[in-house]
Amino acid sequence: MAYDFQTIEKKWQHTWETGGTFNADADPGREKFYCLEMFPYPSGALHMGHLRNYSIGDMMTRFLWKKGLNVLHPIGFDAFGMPAENAAIKSNTPAAEWTWHNIEHMTEQLKRMGCSYDWRRRVETCNPDYYKWTQWIFLQFLKKGLAYRKNSPVNWCESCATVLANEQVINDGRCWRCDTPVVKRNLEQWFLRITDYAQELLDDLDNLPGWPERVKIMQRNWIGRSEGARLSFRETSTGEEIETYTTRFDTIFGVTFLALAAEHPFVEKIMSISPKADEIGEFVKRCAAQSSIERSAAGEEKEGIFTGLRAVNPVTGEDFPILIANYVLMDYGTGAVMGVPAHDQRDFDFARKYGIPVKPVINPPDGEILDGETMTEAFEGDGITCNSGHFDGLPTARAIPEMIEWGVEKGLCEKEINFRIRDWLISRQRYWGAPIPIVYCDECGAVPVPEEELPVLLPESVKPSAGGASPLASDEEWINAPCPKCGRPGKREADTMDTFICSSWYFFRYCSPRNDKEVFSKEEAAYWMPVDQYIGGIEHACLHLIYARFFTKFFADLGLSKAREPFTNLLTQGMVIKDGAKMSKSLGNVVDPDEIISKYGADTARLFILFAAPPGNDLDWSEQGVEGAHRFLNRVWRLVEENLDLLKDASGAPLIPMKDLKEPRLREMKRRIHAAIDAVTRDIDVEKQFNTAVARLMELLNALHQFRPETPEEKVLFREGADALLACLNPFCPHVTEELWELSGHGEPLAMLPWPEAEEEALKADTVTVVIQINGKVRERADFPAGLAGDELKQRALELPGVARRLEGMEIVKIIAVPDRLVNVVVKG
RNA sequence: GCCGGGGUGGCGGAAUGGUAGACGCAGCGGACUCAAAAUCCGCCGUGGGCGACCACAUGGGGGUUCGAGUCCCCCCCCCGGCACCA
C-alpha cells in the first residue's frame, strides 16, 4: 500500500506558495547564492529534459538554504520564438495567446514538481515590461557603435523563412532548429560587434575553473584565434594591391599563385578588363549558387579559373598567376589567399589540377629533400627552411617569428590576429520577437527610437505568414511612424531580434524583475551577480553561453555591473534517453512527466532522476527504476509510520554522544548515521554526485530498518537516525520528508532547518576489516581494532593461523602495512 | 584529419594507487497467503571443486609499483565538438 503522495504533495506545495517560503531578498549581511537553471521555452508542456534540469537545480537550492545561505532561485520563460508563430499559422490562434496559455500551464507543472522558486520574480521575455529593456539594451549597443547595419551574404533558412547567426548554423550547414540546409542570401541586416570582445571572451575562459573543460574547449574552437601576418601582392597590370592573410609567413618564398574568393571585390575589376570576362562571370555565378554545405565540405573538388592577370611576390620579385577559387572564403581573413602548394594540402590539390608549379621551401626534419616535381602531397609539418635566401636552415618554430619580424621591419607585412567568430547577426524576418527599435527616414536614415518611447510594442493583431517577408511589414498602421528626428513620415524596422538576445540578459533581470526605471537595479545585481551555479544542457555551449558572456561584459563596460563573467560554476546535464535514443516525438519514445507525477508523485520522479545517473551522464529512463525509487519512499514512509509511538517517546530526549555509547551494536549504528551524513554532504556539495548521495541514504534506511530498537537508549539513537534520514533526503524529496517530519512530532518545518552535521567522533570506526595479501593477492581478512600502527599490524597479521600456514617454508622479503587497510607480505620461494 | 569525453556484471552505475562491482533494477530461491499482489529473508561477475578454497576478470597489448579500473606508453572501438579558417 503506497503512501498518499497526492494529498501530501498538494499540502506542502500550498504551504510553500502561501508562505513564500523560498522568496529571497538581497541582504548584504548574509552570504548569497544564486542558483539558476536555464529557463524553458514555453512549448506547451515540460518534457523529461526539463524535469531533470529542474530536479537538479531544486535539490541544490534546497540544500543551500539548509546550509544557511540566502539563495536566489528564480524561473521564467524564454517566450519569443518560432513555435508560437507556427502554431498561430496552423491553428489560427494568436501567438501571444498560445504562448501565455503555455506559460501558465508550465508554471503549474513546475509547482507540481515542488520546485522552490521565488515566484515573485518570474519573467517572460515576450512581456513588454521585459522586452522594453531588451530594446533599451539594443540602443546602448547602437550608442557605443557596437550595433551596425550591413549588407552581406547571410545564412538563410528556407523553412524558418529567416536569417540565422553563424552560431545557429550547425551540422554541416544546417539550421539549428529544423535541420534544413542553409543557403546564402544578400541582405541588409543588423549585427552586434561580438568580435570586439573575442579576445576577452577567449582569455576569460581561463578564469572559469568551475566550468567543464569541454565547454571551454568548444568555445575556444568557436572563437578560433589565429596569429599570422597580413601582406599585399601587387597586380601587374593595374597596380592594385591585393591583401592576403597567412599564419605561415615562413612559406612566403614558396608562393606560386594567388587565389581570390568569388565574392572578392577585385573580381569585378577583373571582369571589366579581362578578355575572359564572360567565362569568369559564369564561374563566379556558379560559386555563388553553391550552398554553404557544398562549399564548406572538405572533400569537395577544388575548382578555379585563371584570370589572365599576374601578381608579384614582394619578397622575391617573382610573379605568378591570379586565380579565382571556390575554396577561398570571403568572410575569413581578406578573402584572398597566397597559394603555397608545397606546404598546404588544399593549395597542393589545386596546383596539381591546374598545372601550377610546386616549390618546396621547407624540408622535413628527417633529412629528406623535397622535390616539387615528384611530391605526392603537401608537407605541412615543421622542418628546416630552404630555398628562402638567408633564412635557409632555420627550423620552423624560429622561422615563423623571425621572418615576420623581418617582414615588418622591411615594411612588407603586418602582424595580425584573426578570429573565426563573426559578428552576431541579430535580425530575424519573423513576427514573434522583440521589435528592433529603429525608424527609417528618407532624410535621416536609420534613426533609433528614443529611450523614453520604449517599448516599441509588438502589434498583437498581426497574422504571421509562412512566406519570406517580415510579417510586421504588412501591418500598415504599425509600420508607418514619424521619424523621431525630423518628424517626416518614416517606416519602422520590420525585423525582430534574434531570441538569443532576450536570453542573454534574463539572469540580470531576475535580480530586480519589477524595476520599471532601469534595465536592472545596480545594487541588486551587485548583490546577486554573478550566478553561482548555472545548470543546463550542453547544446548551448557555443550559443547562449557565449552570447550571455558577451552581454555581461558589455554591461560591465557600461558600468551597470561589476561582474565580467555571468556564471561562476556551470553544470551541463546529460540527455534523457530511452531505448537507446534521445526522447523525441518522432521516435515515439517520450515519457510524459505529468503521467509519472500522477502515478508515482513528484518526490519519486525527482528521486529517480537524481539517482539513476550522475548529472553529467545521459540518463536512461526506466519505469522499473522509477518503481524502485517509489519502493524506497514507501519504505521510508513505513519506517516512520510503524515506529511513530517509539519516535514520539524519544522526542525531546538529548542525543547520546558517541563516547557515551558502549555497546558495539549501538556504536555501529551511530557510526552509520554519521557516515551517511558525512558522505551525502560531500557528494552534494563537493562531488556533485547526487546518485551516490541517494545510495548512501538507501544504506542508512537499510541499517535503520534492521536496527529494531528496544531500550530507551536505542530509541533515542533510532530517532537520531530517522531524523538524519529525513533531513538529508529533504532536498531530494521535499514533500514526503516534510510530512514525515511533522508526523514524527517536530514542530518546525524541515525546509529551513539547518543541514545536519556529522559528529567527528562518530565517524571513527572501532574495528576495521584489514586485508592480508601475500604477493599482492588477497588471502585473508581480519577484524582488528582501528588505528593499529604498522609494526603491531604486521605482527598481528602474521599471527593469523591462515596466514602463518601459507607462509610456511617461505622467505619473507618485506611487509607493507597500511593502517586500517591492508598488509601485504612479499615472499620468495 | 584535429580536439575532447568514454569503454567495469544481464542493465543503470560504485570504487583518496590498497577487499573491484557500493546502491538500485532485472533474475533466482524461500517465508507469509487458499492464491496472487504487496512485504520480508537469502543468493546473484565467469570457470573449477562437496567443501574451506583456487583460477580468471574493469576494451586489447606493454610498463611503473609490494600492489593498477585508477599512473605512463602503444593500439582498437563508441560518443560529442570542430573541420577548405589560409
Share of chain A above pLDDT 90, in %: 69
Is the pLDDT at A669 greater than 90, yes or no? yes
Q: Whole-number Å distance, CA A171 to C1' B70?
A: 36
Model pLDDT, residue A170? 75
State pLDDT tens for residues A548-599.
999 999 999 999 999 999 999 999 999 898 877 788 777 788 899 999 999 9
Specify the CATH class of A622-763 in words. Answer: mainly alpha
Model pLDDT, residue A213? 86
Model pLDDT, residue A107? 98
Residue keyed to cell 531570441: A499
The closest alpha carbon to A700, from A676, A727, A731, belongs to A676
Q: Whole-number Å distance, CA A574 to C1' B60?
A: 29
Measured CA to C1', the nucleotide nearest A538 is B80
Model pLDDT, residue A83? 87
Q: Whole-number Å distance, CA A501 to C1' B74?
A: 48
Q: Whole-number Å distance, CA A822 to C1' B17?
A: 13
Q: Whole-number Å distance, CA A619 to C1' B12?
A: 8
Measured CA to C1', the nucleotide nearest A695 is B23
Measured CA to C1', the nucleotide nearest A541 is B81
Q: Whole-number Å distance, CA A330 to C1' B83?
A: 17
Measured CA to C1', the nucleotide nearest A701 is B23
Instruction: Grade residue A231 by pLDDT with cuts at 50, 70 and 90.
Output: very high
Q: Whole-number Å distance, CA A635 to C1' B33?
A: 21
Q: Whole-number Å distance, CA A623 to C1' B13?
A: 17
- ipTM > 0.90? yes
C-alpha cell at A309: 592577370
List the domain boundaries for chain A: 5-125+503-529+562-600, 136-193+423-499, 225-419, 622-763, 767-828
Q: Is A279 helix (H, G, I), strand (E, B) or coil?
A: helix
Measured CA to C1', the nucleotide nearest A696 is B23
Minimum-distance residue to B13 (CA–C1'): A613
Instruction: Grade residue A295 by pLDDT with cuts at 50, 70 and 90.
Output: low
Model pLDDT, residue A781? 87
Minimum-distance residue to B65 (CA–C1'): A776
Model pLDDT, residue A294? 56
Measured CA to C1', the nucleotide nearest A172 is B83
Average pLDDT over residues A185-200: 91
Give this prediction's pTM. Answer: 0.93
Instruction: Grade residue A541 by pLDDT with cuts at 50, 70 and 90.
Output: confident
Q: Whole-number Å distance, CA A521 to C1' B1?
A: 50
Is the pLDDT at A603 greater than 90, yes or no? yes
Average pLDDT over residues A1-19: 93
Burial of residue A605 (CB within 10 Å: 0-12, 13-18, 19+) is buried
Measured CA to C1', the nucleotide nearest A2 is B38
State pLDDT tens for residues A315-358.
999 999 999 998 888 878 899 999 999 999 889 999 999 999 99
Average pLDDT over residues A689-694: 95
At the topology level, CATH places domain A225-419 in: Isoleucyl-tRNA Synthetase; domain 2 (3.90.740)
Which nucleotides of chain B have an atom under 7 angstroms from any protein CB? 3-5, 11-16, 18-20, 22-26, 38-41, 54-55, 66-68, 80-86
Q: Whole-number Å distance, CA A153 to C1' B66?
A: 68
Contacts of A51 (CB under 8 A, 6+ apart): A113, A576, A593, A605, A609
The answer to whether A255 touches A237, Cβ cutoff 8 Å, is: no
State pLDDT tens for residues A702-733.
999 999 898 999 999 999 999 999 999 999 99
Is the pLDDT at A104 greater than 60, yes or no? yes
State pLDDT tens for residues A53-75.
999 999 999 999 999 999 999 99
State pLDDT tens for residues A755-764.
999 999 999 9
Strands A384-385 and A496-497: unpaired
Model pLDDT, residue A70? 98
Share of chain A above pLDDT 70, in %: 98
The answer to whether A523 touches A530, Cβ cutoff 8 Å, is: no
Model pLDDT, residue A293? 52
Q: Whole-number Å distance, CA A665 to C1' B41?
A: 21
Count other C-beta atoms under 10 Å from residue A379's C-beta.
Answer: 19
Measured CA to C1', the nucleotide nearest A705 is B40
Measured CA to C1', the nucleotide nearest A780 is B19
Instruction: Grade residue A80 by pLDDT with cuts at 50, 70 and 90.
Output: very high
Is the pLDDT at A142 greater than 90, yes or no? yes
Q: Whole-number Å distance, CA A582 to C1' B44?
A: 31
* CA distance linking residue A510 with residue A769, whole number of Å: 53
Minimum-distance residue to B80 (CA–C1'): A214
Model pLDDT, residue A829? 61
Model pLDDT, residue A59? 97
Measured CA to C1', the nucleotide nearest A221 is B82
The CATH number of domain A767-828 is 3.10.450.50:
no
State pLDDT tens for residues A788-826.
888 899 999 888 888 888 888 788 888 999 998 999 999
State pLDDT tens for residues A352-385.
999 999 999 999 888 889 999 998 888 888 889 9
Model pLDDT, residue A426? 93
Model pLDDT, residue A183? 78
Helix%, strand%, coil% for chain A, nearest 5:
45, 20, 35
Count other C-beta atoms under 10 Å from residue A298's C-beta.
Answer: 7
Homologous superfamily of A5-125+503-529+562-600: HUPs (3.40.50.620)
Minimum-distance residue to B15 (CA–C1'): A692
Average pLDDT over residues A650-659: 90
